[in-house]
Every structure is written in C-alpha cells, then in structure tokens.
Amino acid sequence: MNNMNQMMKQVKKMQEQMLKAQEELATKSVEGSSGGGVVTVQVSGHKQVIAINIKPEAVDPDDVEMLQDLVMTAVNDALTKAEELANTDMGKFTGGMKIPGLF
C-alpha cells in the first residue's frame, strides 16, 4: 500500500511538471524564414502564428505566386520548429512518446 501511495505522489508531481512545461511553451516562440529572410514568421510554442514580416523586396505585383510560396514556406518552417520545441520540452516527461492531446 505504501508503494502505491508513493507512486501516486510521483504521478501527481509529474503531472504538475508537465502542466508547467505546457504553460512555459506559450511564452516561447520560434521563427521560420524563407527567401533568405525576406519573409519571416514567428510562431508560439503552442503553434499559433504571432507575426508575419515581409520585406518590400519580396513584393512583386507581377509574381504574387512567389510571395505566396515564400509565406507558406516560412510558416511551415516556423511550425516545424515549434513542433521540435514542443517535442524537446515535453519529451522529457514522455520519454519521446507521442501522447495524443498532450502536445
């Protein structure tokens, strides 16, 4: 019975640490870019786009498709980095396992 109580305390402590780590992810951000930095996208640790910056030289009215591609590439780059950040921060608790709904 004592072992069960000890295990429950450890589980509760781990849950608290995971919750804190998830909260800390909201305060972290990563940046993705494309076109040598003419388009940058900042994404939170919770994978929400915070900012998109487009330098004037990226805007060509005759080639809107290129700008669309640059934005898409920068967003995907930032989201990939946010996923890596979440996996790094939360992976400490899950041992690298992907737990649905956790992150």
pLDDT digits (tens, 9 = 90+) for 16-68: 888 888 888 888 999 999 999 999 999 998 889 999 999 999 999 999 999 99
Range of the domain at 77: 28-93
**Residue 49 β-bridge partners:** 43
pLDDT higher than 90, residue 102: no
In a domain, 65, yes or no: yes
Question: Higher pLDDT residue, 34 or 7?
Answer: 34
Residue 17 domain-assigned? no
Q: What is this structure's pTM?
A: 0.70
DSSP 99: -
| 98 within domain boundaries | no
Q: Give domain status of residue 44, yes or no.
A: yes
Q: How far apart are CA 99 and CA 15, in angstroms?
A: 13
Output the pLDDT for position 97: 57
Residue 90 pLDDT level (bands cut at 50, 70, 90): confident
Given a cut of 70, is residue 95 above it in pLDDT?
Answer: no
Q: Is residue 77 part of a domain?
A: yes
Q: Please indicate, yes or no, if residue 12 is contained in any of the structural domains.
A: no
Nearest to 43 by CA among 28, 58, 53: 28
d(Cα 29, Cα 9) in Å, to the nearest integer?
A: 32
55 belongs to a structural domain:
yes
Residue 85 maps to a domain: yes
